[in-house]
Amino acid sequence: MMETQRLILYVALGLVLMLLWQSWIQYTTPTQAPGQNEQVQAGGSGTTTPARDATVPDAPDAPSAPSAPAAPSTPGTPDASTEAPAQAEAGGTIVVETDLIRAELSTIGGDIRKVELLDYPVDVDHPEVPLSLMSSEPPNIFMTETGLLGRGHEFPNHRTEWRIDGEKFTLDSGRDSLEITFSHEAGAVTYRKVYRFRRDSYLVDVEYRVDNGSDTPWSGYQYAQFVRTDYEEARTMGFLTALPSFRGGAIYTPEDRFQKIGFSDLADSDLKRQTESGWVSMLQHYFVGAWLPAEPGPYEFYTSVADRAAMLPMYRIGYKTLAPVEVAPGASGVLDNRLYIGPKEQDRLEEAAEGLVLSVDYGWLTVVASPLFWLLSWIHKVVGNWGWAIIFLTVLIKLVFFPLSAASYKSMAKMKNLQPRLKTLKDRYGDDRQKFQQEMMKIYKEEKINPLGGCLPILVQIPVFIALYWVLLESVELRQADWFWLKDLSVKDPFYILPILMGLSMLVQQRLNPAPMDDIQKKVMMALPFVFTVFFLFFPSGLVLYWVVNNVLSIAQQWFITNKLQAKS
């Protein structure tokens, strides 16, 4: 029946909105109280790492060295639980600036403490202020920690004091890369920690170069990890001000592919996963930080949490190598690594590492959403504007589904023509719904109408609609993309023009459809355009643009088919 068809459509859309609403409630409720600064109890400030027999991370600070026959642990490193919080440590700061990023690195650990994305303003109203993706400032902490592990020598970790000549390093025009080098001496062994930044790239090479001047062999491992707090600023409650997106850790292995690990999962238990290749990362909406170990492995991916009972615990996710690098006396060796820190631009992610593009989280509809994004990107290359790309993509989708939509609208048109007869039946049989249904089915059979004929085409299209929703929500390419009065297609329409047009288009569609026979259902259907309009007031304007164009095309298509059938009758 026509009522069943519409009910299936609106229930499906209503379920989507209900899930969005539930996710938004979780997203807009701060997980931590503002102003609470309790942090992880970090590791020692000495130059060595205590060697332990376990092969898993057994402290919230850094992993232990893999077990090895031979050497005892190096003495003198304070226990992790007695040390000051990571962000409280003193140390010099150097600045590195390329064409895409501005990074701050600390001489304590020689690690990255802050990253600003120069091509991504914090918002459209402040184009001169770059977005800060990484920071060591509480309560919203996100930074890197790296180091070496082993026995028999002193090994620098992320609490080691490094030396560097200079305070600011800039990638000048005409140069394709920029190297900066930290140095540290531990007895007869000299360590150099080298960062290589490249032009037009968010990839950073990180190398440890070991010069073994001692008379004993050097054998060591490396680890690299992210440290982050689960903190977001409180949002205004009431209506949608932002839509939810996953925040937390993620790993990729060839065996298990992409696996998200939310902060709640990190808090529940520590991860230990051995693999020959893959990567570990911290995700947030539009942006990702990922450690990309040099192949071949083996590696161990791990997570840990400092002081799980604290108001603002520190979460770590990282990896350590399981195969040692051997450096003979008087020789040199290299332990290398790579870091991606930047936006989830899919072309860059594809080039950076296998599977990294999956950090653009389309969920279970990835198989549909990925081709849609590819098509949207291709159209954008032709038209040069993401707003117009959305419009042309909507047109193409309508063309692909034209046969299915036409069948649905023909069914609607035929049933609308039956409305006078159905109303007569309803008046004749009154409250006898069983008799009314029987007589109505006789009419459908006489007129050769399948009352559910329009349902299947609509159900087939729903996954495409939902997949496109995730494409428009998750694609950083649409962040701060403009179209006419809209300065940013990833946020709400500031003047609410598109949501109002969307509501009006739904009202027009209802006029074209046969009215429900049931009075209660009729009232519900009439209320839905207003309910949807309220929801869409705060949806990303790019998504609302899609719905407006889709509704307008549907109205035109339905009007054409209805008039064509009426002309034949």
pLDDT for the residue 18: 52
pLDDT for the residue 422: 76
pLDDT for the residue 56: 31
Mean pLDDT by 10 residues, the chain (569 residues): 46 52 42 33 32 34 60 32 41 94 97 97 92 93 96 93 96 94 96 98 97 96 96 49 73 92 90 94 95 89 84 92 95 96 96 94 87 95 96 93 76 71 75 76 74 63 82 89 93 93 90 67 77 85 91 87 70
CA dist 212 → 48, 123, 397, 507 (Å): 16, 49, 63, 77
SS3 call for 286? coil
Region(s) of the chain under CATH 2.70.98.90: 31-52+90-231+247-361
pLDDT for the residue 463: 84
Beta strand 101-106 pairing with 93-97: antiparallel
SS3 call for 36? coil
pLDDT for the residue 62: 66
pLDDT for the residue 17: 54
| Domain at 31-52+90-231+247-361, CATH from 2.70.98.90, 3.30.450.90, 2.40.50.100, 1.10.3720.10 | 2.70.98.90
Contact 466, 365 (CB under 8 A): yes
Q: What is the number of other CB atoms lying within 10 angstroms of the CB of residue 1?
A: 19
Query: CA-CA distance, 315 to 247, in Å (whole number)?
Result: 12
Contact 316, 303 (CB under 8 A): yes
Contact 162, 107 (CB under 8 A): yes
Q: What's phi and psi for 66, nearest 5 deg?
A: -60, 150
Contact 472, 479 (CB under 8 A): no
**Nearest alpha carbon to residue 38 among 268, 314, 316:** 314
